[in-house]
Structure 1
């Protein structure tokens, strides 16, 4: 047996210290978000097989790790590995792919390679009051995509200016790109989408060909006293068929009241390109002319990492040559982030 000596112990400490200086430990994190939901159609319910009635709903629960490794004073390697976790649907895989990439960062900004939220998705800012839930803006507006085989460039931050560019490699990504488009997305924003460092945010985004969509949107947010207001306007069309188009918008409001955060949101789309519209179109013999949604609800803070929430969402799809489709969605849930 090797006898431990003071010299050997000191050497071991030096090796450990050297390793620690060269390789920073990653940050491990998670987001567990489960709700009890009742829905008439199941169109917007997540983490199930489109079940109607009262169900347990998984709202983008995930675990992951991320970090950075210094290469020299001007350059570092950055990475992220994240998977979705589903515990509410016996017919679905327990794990699913989410943002997973590796790249480099420095004074030039950041460039990463892999699966990532598109720049167009990022152009929503902080408008969505019910993100990752069954009242997420994706139910009304298309383009909230996460795509693999992509290159993402993030601008270096200059004052309050932010920007992002996404390019998807067409030859390596059947179904996520379009032969008729250039398969990129971008956004520019100015201000603070969290409305903490500044009481305003404005931004714009454009996508061409990713998931067969060509669209642009404008985003604005403002904070008046404690009231946070937000709005998005978006014009969309199918890349391969410009006659298939829609215009839509979202307006939202948030107001803190003690441990409560009161929230409200309204959405409208004059077509069937959002999630609710597409599912309604597939479930009727008529033609979806427009979709409206309003949602009211709130969060109740339990701790820095946990809160309870609840909301009521109403969806209405006007159908030409068939009966209209409506859905009343009631949700109560618990979220914990670490």
Structure 2
């Protein structure tokens, strides 16, 4: 059976967040791991310098083998600012961002996940442009839109090089809107070795946070891998918005070189963002990186760098 891109992406993400994950509890059928990341950077944002935290986090992942064909799993992940001392004051927590938190079941039928997690649209399509530690990545759905909370998803197992998924996020009834469910769906296809195509749909209803535009999002991606080289193409549309991005990465031994060209058109203005970066891995857990991103957009800055440049130098340690 060929592994689909989504399965590969999920496996790579889990590996990246648990390079040296510590097992803190284990039985014959159950296991609990603890993992984390400290990521600090020096950012020059259009001439303004600052030392910043960059998505540092700590998390716990658990699994329980119920029988030969059914496994329960759970995850809880918290972000914190690692660049300065923090104290919990006035109700403000030190762990100030609850990230992936979900439970589910997985077996020969596929996988069911309930809770707070990246959108299926991102996992299937837009993640191909997510190459950077800091600035450079943009998409009409970057994972947070119409997801990350009150969501249930079903994904099939690998069907001979094909995989499909469907999710629904619940929007409760309010004084301003009726109860609703925002749907997302994807299909991925490994046509030949090293080439994967995907298409995804996000209903993007106005009742959900991030869905104010209320125009459905449709995206397609293609990824080709050949030895140390990986190239990808992303095409998206939503109402008047059209986004096209082409990127790639090359593993040169102890590190990677990567870059992205991204064009966004909102129906009135269009702009081109460029970004390049490289990292050097001193070990499996520790890396340094340098990145440069530049934009010349005048359109909606929710999706762009605007007319500025950002330079980043950082260090990251995963366990």
TM-score for both structures, normalised by structure 1: 0.72
Aligned to 1:154: 155
Name the counterpart of 2:236.
Answer: 234
Partner of 1:136, secondary structure, is coil
User: 1:67: which partner in 2?
Assistant: 62
Distance 1:87 1:165 in 2: 36
The 1:230/1:332 distance shift into structure 2, 3 A limit, reads same
Deviation at 1:199, TM superposition (A): 1.8
Please tell me whether the aligned partners of residues 127 and 251 of structure 1 are also in contact (alpha carbons under 8 angstroms). no
Aligned pairs (5 A) from 1:47-62:
53-62=48-57
Counterpart check, 1:306 vs 2:305? no
CA distance in 2, matches of 1:174, 1:142: 27
Q: Give 1 or 2: higher helix fraction.
A: 1
Change (3 A) 1:20 1:296: closer
1:179, CA displacement in angstroms?
Answer: 6.0
Superposed displacement of residue 306, structure 1: 1.8
Q: Give unmatched runs, 5+ long, in structure 2.
A: 1-25
Pair 1:28 & 2:34 matched = yes
Query: By how many angstroms is 1:133 displaced?
Result: 2.0
Equivalent in the alignment of 2:22: none
CA distance in 1, matches of 2:79, 2:164: 26
Equivalent residue number for residue 190 of structure 2: 191
Deviates most, 199-208 or 162-171: 162-171
Match for residue 316 of structure 1?
296
Structure with larger Rg: 1
Question: Per-residue deviation at 1:76?
Answer: 2.3
Q: How does 1:2-41 map to 2 (within 5 A)?
A: 20-21=27-28, 24-40=30-46
> Counterparts of 1:107 and 1:319 in 2: how far apart (Å)?
46
Residue 331 of structure 1 is matched in structure 2 by: 312
SS at structure 2 position matched to 1:147? coil
Judged with a 3 Å threshold, the aligned counterparts in structure 2 of structure 1 residues 188 and 170 are, in CA distance, closer, same or farther, namely same
1:118 to partner: Cα distance: 1.1
| Pair 293,202 (structure 1): closer, same or farther in 2 beyond 3 Å | same
Q: Specify the alignment match of 2:272 in structure 1.
A: 292
Bigger drift between 102-111 and 123-132 goes to 123-132
Deviation at residue 198 of structure 1 after TM alignment = 4.2
Q: 8 Å contact 1:154–1:164 — kept in the other structure?
A: yes
What are the superposed Cα offsets for residues 74-101 of structure 1, whole Å, 9 maximum, x if unpaired?
3222111111222347798532111101
Aligned-pair CA distance for 1:56: 2.2
Residue correspondences, number: 275
Secondary structure of 1:318's counterpart equals coil
CA contact (8 A) 1:129 1:252 kept: no
**Residue 70 of structure 1: CA displacement?**
1.9
Change (3 A) 1:25 1:260: closer
Post-superposition Cα deviations, 1:112-154, rounded to whole Å, max 9, x if no partner, equal: 211111111112365225245221224xx34531421111212
